[in-house]
Amino acid sequence: MSLSVSRRLAAATALAVAGLLAATSPAALAAPTAVAAAPTPPDIPLANVKAHLAQFSSIAAANGGNRAHGRSGYKASIDYVKGKLDAAGFTTTLQTFTSSGATGYNLIADWPGGDPNSVLMSGSHLDSVTAGAGINDNGSGSAAVLETALAVSRAGLQPTKHLRFGWWGAEELGLVGSKYYVNNLPAAEKAKISGYLNFDMIGSPNPGYFVYDDDPTIEQTFKNYYAGLGIPTEIETEGDGRSDHAPFKSAGIPVGGLFSGADYTKTAAQAQKWGGTSGRAFDACYHSSCDTTANINDTALDRNADAIAYAVWNLGAATPVPPGPSFENTADVNIPDSPGAAVTSPINVSGVTGNAPATTKVDVNIVHTYRGDLVINLIAPDGTAYLLKNSSSDSAANVIATYTVNASSEVANGVWKLQVKDVGAQDVGYINSWKITF
Ligand code: DTR
Ligand code: ZN
Ligand code: ZN
Ligand code: CA
């Protein structure tokens, strides 16, 4: 508001002309802008994953029918996985602990190379319940993580981060192995883990596609993978704290993961989008003797194994995780000077599954001669207002900024609006463009 009269008049004239031109053009809702392609990870061969499951099945059959903690079937499972990893060039470590009077084993495998101060870890529990072979719970996660590690070796991958893989013992007794690992990791070592990815039940026979909603970057990575397949996902809500990511999360380590469902029942709406049988459990053989190699949905196992590779390649690489879909409105909208009413610029979002992320990005480009006059809000489809910028004494011109909004309680699809109000007399401007990225 401190402009000289001549400058203000000239500025107002120029803006008025621009606004007039803009007023004749309808609000152009630009198509979603393409996002950069992520590095291409390998396809994880389903046949290889199923071959590991067949081995776990044979091990159970040869060891009393299960692979439970403290039983010979568990140690045989550990020895199988360790043998594969040693042969593939991993540095493996067997960590022992005692639980319920029996020796338990965690297997840790480090892929040589990468930044030792930035560790990306992937894991799954290898033990079954005593009732059966535990092929879906959790041979599926263990086999897929093993095959992803072997794919890293086959590719001779040299990621930016250091890659570590873990197979946990005694999860069924209460996350005993993973808790032991985290509790015995020095604080300096915990601080190096940039993320822990957990895979517990990822081949359920009546599958759902659930993504853990813990760390937003990890969550977005998995959502991007499934968006690329055109498969809707849901936030995993059945298991907060019910699997091996919990000790890592409690230690402040970013976590994420995938889940295909356990004893909860698939709804009609879920069957509509994912196929399968509504009114039936995602895994009717959960913790039962029928959790055998017949208790696997190949499509779910295949997709989730490929999703693990996608996440390891992307999160382990230097290139940042590509943002989700974005939508832009480039139509100019004139902002009346104070005490005029607020104006809005709409964007109609569609085709985005689920809610907006906690890191929803809003890029704003406003031409104005005194930006301290402006109050800017993001209005969600349900009318909720998120303040992006308040008025101030900032006399500089224009607002060209990116704001990050935690809009995770908002459904993504619908009409979002940028609302701008000029609360300071003199000095005028217009919305040049704005973009929302999920
Ligand atoms: N606790 C797991 C099964 C399980 C149940 N809900 C979730 C959610 C997310 C991961 C795993 C699970 C087990 O029985 O091993
Ligand atoms: Zn279980
Ligand atoms: Zn499990
Ligand atoms: Ca003003």
Per-residue pLDDT of the chain (438 residues; tens, 9 = 90+): 333 434 344 444 444 443 333 332 323 333 333 333 445 799 999 999 999 999 999 999 999 999 999 999 999 999 999 999 999 999 999 999 999 999 999 999 999 999 999 999 999 999 999 999 999 999 999 999 999 999 999 998 989 999 999 999 999 999 999 999 999 999 999 999 999 999 999 999 999 999 999 999 999 999 999 999 999 999 997 766 789 999 999 999 999 999 999 999 999 999 999 999 999 999 999 999 999 999 999 999 999 999 999 999 999 985 445 568 999 999 999 999 999 999 999 999 999 989 998 779 999 999 999 999 999 999 999 999 999 999 999 999 999 999 989 898 999 999 999 999 999 999 999 999 999 999
Give me the pLDDT at residue 408, please.
87
Give me the pLDDT at residue 31, please.
35
254 Cβ neighbours under 8 A, 6+ residues apart: 194, 195, 196, 214, 215, 217, 218
The ligand that comes nearest to the alpha carbon of residue 263 is 1
Give me the pLDDT at residue 323, please.
66
User: On the CB side of 289, how many CA atoms lie within 13 Å of its CA?
Assistant: 4
Whether ligand 1 lies within 6 angstroms of the CB of 180 is answered as no
Between the two ends of the chain, the Cα-to-Cα distance in Å is 36
User: E strands within 89-202?
Assistant: 91-99, 102-111, 115-125, 161-168, 193-199
Q: Is 328 a catalytic residue?
A: no
Give me the pLDDT at residue 46, please.
97
Q: Which atom of ligand 1 is nearest to the CA of 263?
A: 5
CA of 248 to the centre of ligand 3 (A): 16
Whether ligand 1 lies within 6 angstroms of the CB of 283 is answered as no
The ligand that comes nearest to the alpha carbon of residue 245 is 1
Query: Within a 10 A sphere around the Cβ of 151, how many other Cβ atoms?
Result: 22
Amino acid, res. 16 = A
pTM above 0.85?
Answer: no
Whether ligand 1 lies within 6 angstroms of the CB of 262 is answered as yes
- Identify the sign of the CA torsion 240, 245, 248, 249: negative
Per DSSP, 163 falls in state E
Per DSSP, 102 falls in state E
338 Cβ neighbours under 8 A, 6+ residues apart: 373, 422, 423, 424, 425
Give me the pLDDT at residue 158, please.
87
| Rounded-to-integer distance, Cα 89 and Cα 80, Å | 15
SS3 call for 359: coil
Q: For the chain, list the domains and their CATH numbers.
A: 5-36+324-437 (2.60.120.260), 46-316 (3.40.630.10)
The verdict on whether omega for the bond into residue 320 sits within 30 degrees of 0, i.e. cis, is no
Q: How many residues does the chain have?
A: 438
Whether ligand 1 lies within 6 angstroms of the CB of 291 is answered as no
Determine contact, residues 70/63, Cβ cutoff 8 Å: no
The verdict on whether omega for the bond into residue 304 sits within 30 degrees of 0, i.e. cis, is no
* Nearest to 164, CA basis, from 259, 75, 253, 90: 90
Whether ligand 1 lies within 6 angstroms of the CB of 239 is answered as yes
Scored b (16 or more CB within 10 A) or e, 190-206 reads eebbbbbbbbbbbbbbb
Residues 146, 151, 154, 158: what is their CA dihedral angle, to the nearest 10 degrees? -110
CA of 123 to the centre of ligand 1 (A): 14
CA of 242 to the centre of ligand 3 (A): 9
- Identify the sign of the CA torsion 306, 307, 313, 316: negative
Per DSSP, 88 falls in state T
Q: Which atom of ligand 1 is nearest to the CA of 242?
A: 1
| Rounded-to-integer distance, Cα 234 and Cα 212, Å | 9
CA of 172 to the centre of ligand 3 (A): 7
DSSP assignment of 8-52: HHHHHHHHHHHHHHHHTS---EEEEEP-PPPP-PPPPPHHHHHHH
